[in-house]
Structure 1
Amino acid sequence: MLGSVEPSPVDADDQFISIIDNPPEDVQAGTPPWKVAIIDDDSAVHDGTRFALQNFRLNGRGLEFHSAASAAAGRDLLRDQPDVAVILLDVVMESDEAGLDLVDYVRRELSNEAVRIILRTGQPGHAPEQRIVVDYDINDYKAKTELTAEKLFTTMTAALRSYEQLQRQTRMRQGLEVIVGASATLHRARTLREIGETALRQIARLVDSGPSGLFLADTQVTGDLSVVAGEGRYRGIVSTAALEARHPSLARAVDAALVGRGTFCTDGVCVGHVPMSNRNVVMAFDLDHQLCEADETLIAVFLARLATALDNVTLYEALEEANAVLEQKVIERSAALTATNQRLEAQTAELRRVNAFKNELLGIVAHDLKNPLSVIQGRTEILTEILGEAGDRAHHQLRAIRNSADRLAAIIDERLAEVRRDAPEMTLRPRDFDVLALVERIAEANSAHASRKRQTLAISGDTALMVHADEDRIADAVDNLLSNAVKYSPVGSTVGVSVVREGPEAVVRVTDSGPGIAAADRARLFHPFQRLSASPTHGESSTGLGLYSAKRIVDLHGGRIGLERSVEGEGGGSTFFLSLPLAPVPR
């Protein structure tokens, strides 16, 4: 389009004047003209420029002139017309550098990097070309005297082509930013409807048009095209039959896109086929303006990215279907397993009840027999010493009694170990008792065994150290520590047992003179069925359960048990400790 002003002179105080002529016949319908701003305080320059470029055409587009007679008016013009493509700018107007100041205003305050600025000066010496080109962001510098009609045509053509390339690059950058942002949103969609609604909103942003569009896809069951989502004026369309009835031209455009597998834009509507190999998907959306080449490229890129997101949705739907089938099978299998588990639990409960009764019976019998049997063993040993050499027959009978008692003691120990090992829970019957008194009783019970090895049991400690615990269980734990010390200490050695108060605890320490605990054995000390590398010194037997049983008992009482000291080698010895919380002092 061409613009003109009246032939009267332009006053410096006038505001900018925008004059738009009717577009020539050969200008493409709907294609806007290029906007050119003439900012000069000489009216002749305005008239001459319009006259020289009145027949200018580039890509079917004419020129639309906007005039300003001063830099101040030019500021208002350029602020109100941000889409001006070329500025023909005088340097000297209100001031010697008014035009140069306007250049800074455009580039810095308006942040307009696209507009092409051509300086035209009638005083080249006042504003040297080399300094101006270096110091100011302009695109060309011309003296008014050298701008003939032909050169003005050439300069305008070069400037508009540069502007058009910048606009295309800017449009591509902005569009790609929209596509990148849309891709993340599209890939979060999990259903076809969700992705259809998202795609329609994003394509409207991309082409800068109203939010009216339609998203269609074939069903994977029948292969027929169906409406998935609609926006704007197409929101009420829920079937292809309704589309054909209400928008027959759009329905034909959709068919053309399916057949041609491409994008077609006409009559304010664009229809694009999404490039997928396994299903047909079509998008239709309204346009508020004619698309440029950059827009068409961006739409193709968007549709390609949309295809990837649709593949993800298709895979997700298939995965959801497979998961639903799998979940149903899991539910059925779980129900069968639950019924089986219930039967097994009932049977297990019955077995536990029977086993608990058996363990309780064996424990009672073994426990009630062990203490009297210990007395028999001890008294047999004493009788043997008293009789001395008095008759072989008496000694023979005593040896028989002793051997039978030893065998019975071994059987009882084995049965007690089995009961303790198999019992899932241990019943405690706590009461207050004196720890030193219990230790002395355990030492008395082990004295016969120690006497046979000519060992000395040295008992020491504090009296009246009361704890609240199951006395019989604690006696078993202490007996395990003391009997082990006797077993592994050499003949003629001393086994020490001390009872002391340490803070809120009563601590029992058992010290032997054995070979010590090997480093490789220490990690296995309190585990079941762990027989250590050292052997008893008088041929005694060991089940490997004593320390394990003692630790279970002490742990149930909230106490501590462990190896305090051990020196490897003959006579190095070891010290085990057992600690229990002291009973509260009655008030």
Structure 2
Amino acid sequence: MDDEIFLLPDDITDPPARAGAWTIAVVDDDPAVHEGTRYALAGYELDGRGLEILSAYSAAEARLLLAARPDVAVVFLDVVMESDDAGLRLVGDIRRELGNETVRIILRTGQPGQAPERRVIVDYDINDYKAKTELTADKLFTSLTAALRAYQQLKRLDETRRGLEIILDAAPMLLDHKSMQRLAEGVLTQVASLLNVECAGILVLRENDATDERFCVLAGSGCYGHYVGRNPAWPLDPDVHPVVERAFAERTHSFGDHWSTLYMHTASGSEIVALIDADRSLSDTDRSLIDLLTTRLSIAFDNVILYEKLQRANVELEQRVLERTAELIRANRRLDLQRSNLRRANNLKTEILGTVAHDLKNPLSVILGRSEMLSDMLAIETVPKAQMGVQVEAVRTAAKRLIGMIDTLMADAMNDALDITLRREPLDLAALAGEVCEANRPLAETKGQSLRFATQEAVYVCGDSERLREAIDNLVSNAIKYSFIDSAIEVSVRDEGTEIICAVTDQGPGLSPEDASRLFGRFQRLSAKPTGGEGSTGLGLSIVRRIVELHGGRTEAHSAGMGSGATFLMRFPKISVGLI
């Protein structure tokens, strides 16, 4: 080149590149231009940042350099190198093929006529056009500073645009999250993408209620991933703890060289701190984008918190519905049971009324008829005392039968009471059965029946003597009532080791299979009929079963068939009745 503008020392060395330095490229086929540019810009500094100067000696070499180093801020480009328009074609390649719109290009030429300035400025996207003869050290400083300022502004605009695109793309995805953990993981990913740096971090949630403050690490990335799932009381290590705690206390963003903390407060009252550990300090553009992102994140976190509350409310509501449904089912079952009991009670009432109407009518009719006969006899002048005595005896007998039936009905009502209690005491069941036999012997003798008590030795049980007497009496009186005239009835009490058995055997009409199936039911009419015209309520055997069950025993009846008699048994387990 004919027009050198720099005086160079014999030995030029590049200053070491510093972290955060501006990167510029000198593209020229003349080595002296590279050396002169380095010399002129030695010690250059802008905004506390020095220069890293790269060199390329042809357009082809520069194309490879710029493709490998997209962080180049300014290019000093010679027009004429391997061809007259090599520099201009490189400008087109940088803008179109490499797609680099932010790098500032200062065109330098030693032959301005070959590349007229006006046409070049209009046709090519360059920052400045200088002839090498006019590019003194001061002019070089001025042009570089202006280019770096323009580059810085373009980078901020580009970062802002890219950040806004990331925020717009992330917003639907973040707002769509229904899980707090998934949302937190997405936030860390989007913050790293927004800042365009490799960074690690954690998100900490603080939920405030009336009695407690609870902390929870929602997500962690990089070296902070192990915090997730720790003890929720305060899951952070001592070096991280004060940083996050200060962010909650100050309730604002904080940006530092190593750590930055982002604070978010949701409308639902929850607070969230994101701690970001990046490999560089955040720029003003980064901080503005962070502010914008966090406003959107508050809405996203509120959505998740409200969704989770809604889910919990739905679960609680479903549980309450299930509990209420189960309660209604139980209530319906109780109502069904009560309705069934009422139906049975109504049927029982009908049976009782039928029994009372049928069985009590006969003795009442006898009493009424005999009373009319007595009235007629009293109208006779000479009262027939003997005949009147017969009628009075018939009235007395009918009244006794009526009283007996009423006593039976009352005994059944008492046995059916839910709060019935037994007065247990040691007693000789054999002696009790013997007393019942002696009381019923005159009734048996009136029908020509022999009533034999076969037990001689004492057999002790623990029970209610009046109730047991009633049960034995019902079996003995039934045997007399249904046995044939001149037949034999036998009563026995025996100890069979594990059980005490009281048995009453008659020589009556026996039991049919139909009788055996409903023998101990209430108000049951059996196929056999009383042999002396006695009345029956159909309650005697049911009373016997109830008394025996109250003593922990069971009742049985055996018969070889119709006309073969029957044996009725009361079995008492020794352990239940408390034998002594």
TM-score (norm 2): 0.52
Shift of residue 305, structure 1, vs aligned partner: 1.2
Could you tell me which of 67, 75, 81 is aligned with 1:87? Answer: 75
1:287 counterpart (278, 283, 308): 278
2:11 matches 1:21: no
Aligned twin of 1:401? none
Could you tell me which residue of structure 2 aligns to residue 137 of structure 1?
125
Aligned: 1:227 with 2:221? no
Q: Secondary structure at the residue paired with 1:227?
A: strand
Counterpart among 256, 263, 268 of residue 258 in structure 2: 268
**Residues 185-242 of structure 1: per-residue CA shift (max 9 Å, x gap):** 2212223223222222222222234463211112345223232222222222224677
SS in 2 for 1:56: coil
Specify the SS of the correspondent of 1:125: helix
1:19 and 1:66 in contact (8 A); partners too: no
Please report how far the alpha carbon of residue 67 of structure 1 lies from its aligned counterpart in structure 2 after TM superposition. 1.4
1:165 matched residue in structure 2? 153
The CA deviation at 1:274 is 1.1
Partner in structure 2 of residue 71 of structure 1? 59
Please say which structure displays the higher CA radius of gyration: 2
Residues 171-570 of structure 1: pairs in structure 2 closer than 5 A: 171-210=159-198, 212-221=200-209, 222-237=212-227, 238-239=230-231, 243-244=235-236, 246=237, 248-266=238-256, 268-276=258-266, 278-335=269-326
Q: CA deviation at 1:127?
A: 0.8
**Equivalent residue, structure 2, for 1:388:** none
Work out the percentage of aligned pairs sharing the same amino acid: 46
Unaligned runs of 5+ residues in structure 1 are 10-17, 348-587
2:113 aligns to what SS in structure 1?
A: coil
Contact conserved, 2:14 with 2:38, CA < 8 A, in 1? Answer: no
CA–CA separation in structure 1 for the residues paired with 2:199 and 2:25: 34
Q: 2:87 aligns with which of 71, 75, 99?
A: 99
Q: CA RMSD of the aligned region, Å?
A: 3.1
What CA distance in whole angstroms lies between the structure 1 residues aligned with 2:110 and 2:46?
A: 28
Which amino acid in 1 is paired with 2:188?
Answer: L
Query: How far did 1:279 drift?
Result: 2.0
Residues 113-122 or 215-224, more deviating: 215-224
**1:128 Cα deviation after fit:** 0.6
The alpha-carbon deviation at position 68 of structure 1 amounts to 1.7
Q: How far does the alpha carbon of each residue in 1:284-314 deviate from its partner, in whole angstroms, 9 at most, with x for none?
A: 1221222211111222222221111111112
SS in 1 for 2:46: coil
Q: Matched residues in 2 for 1:327 and 1:241: separation?
A: 31
Q: Which amino acid aligns with 1:276?
A: T
For residues 64 and 205 of structure 2, what CA distance do their matches in structure 1 show? Answer: 51
For 1:115, the equivalent position in structure 2 comes to 103
Give the C-alpha shift of residue 141 in structure 1: 0.9
Do 1:227 and 1:239's aligned partners in 2 also have CA atoms closer than 8 Å?
Answer: no
Q: 1:316 to 1:337 in 2, by over 3 A?
A: same
**AA matched with 1:105:** D
Measure the CA separation in 2 of the matches of 1:40 and 1:157.
Answer: 20
Aligned residues between the structures: 326
- Flag the 1:142–1:262 CA change in 2: closer, same or farther, 3 A: same
The code of the aligned residue for 2:23 comes to K
Partner of 2:3: none
SS, match of residue 235 in structure 1 = helix
CA distance in structure 2 between the aligned counterparts of 1:328 and 1:220, rounded to whole angstroms: 26
In 2, Cα distance between the equivalents of 1:55 and 1:21?
A: 8
2:216 partner amino acid: S
Cα shift readout 1:9-31 (whole Å, capped 9, x = no counterpart): 9xxxxxxxx985225xxx7xx4x
Change (3 A) 1:71 1:19: farther
Letter in 1 for 2:15: D
Matching residue of 1:583? none
What is the TM-score normalised by the length of structure 1? Answer: 0.51
Q: Is the Cα–Cα contact under 8 Å of residues 216 and 283 in structure 1 kept in the other structure?
A: yes
Is the CA contact 2:202–2:276 (under 8 Å) kept in the aligned structure 1?
yes
Question: 1:275, 1:304 within 8 Å by CA — same for their partners in 2?
Answer: no
Q: 1:195 to 1:286 in 2, by over 3 A?
A: same
Counterpart selection for 1:57 from 45, 48, 61? 45
Match of 1:132, SS state, is helix
1:372 aligned residue: none
Secondary structure of the structure 1 residue equivalent to 2:273: strand
